[in-house]
Amino acid sequence: MNIILVGFMASGKSSLSRYMATRTKRQALDLDIEIEKRAQMSIPKIFETVGEKAFRDLESYVTKLCKNYHNTIIATGGGCILREENRRALKEAGLVIWLNTSPENVQKYTAKRNNRPLLKGDKSLNDITQMMKKREALYADSSHLKIDVFQHNLEEIFDIIQSYK
Ligand code: S3P
């Protein structure tokens, strides 16, 4: 069975997918990287040149390919859950885990690197909180299990997922 990680930007999806893949000797797949490979440009460049709608179309395309993978740990982009078709495709492709982070951690972990177009120009804690609130119901709708990642380290999160399966 695939394990699919959803959650807000900087919730640790990519790090956890790599950690889990190493621990379980399974393959890791990162949908943001799949998008970049297909577009042959970075995500900021995609947003800049063809815009968010074209990015979301490409994101939907790679999301629908998830069902073709087996026993893979899949990290999604934070906005993958925005479209209903994607939420359905994710749920059909495996066990979907929502990594729920805190606005404080999002701010902390995105402060230095500016590779996320939607967080461009230092966002206030209030801006981040509002963005997260808007998406909360969508993460809940797309996932089978929610983990409050700010309460655990990687190993504990790994154990929670392993015991849930
Ligand atoms: C986005 C999250 C990003 C990336 C893009 C849009 C979003 O992925 O897909 O910048 O809408 O939340 P990460 O969650 O890996 O940062």
Could you list the residue range(s) of the whole structural domain that residue 155 is in?
A: 2-164
Number of domains in the chain: 1
Beta bridge pairs of residue 147: 99
pTM more than 0.90:
yes
The answer to whether the CB of 78 falls within 8 A of the CB of 14 is no
76 touches 28 (CB < 8 A)? no
Angle between helices 31-39 and 51-64 (to 10 degrees): 120
C-alpha 18 to ligand 1 mean position (Å): 17
Residue 38 is assigned to a ligand binding site = no
CATH number, domain at 7? 3.40.50.300
d(CA 13, CA 75): 5
User: Which ligand 1 atom minimizes the distance to the CA of 82?
Assistant: 11
pLDDT tens per residue across span 75-123: 999 999 999 999 999 999 999 999 999 999 999 999 877 789 999 887 8
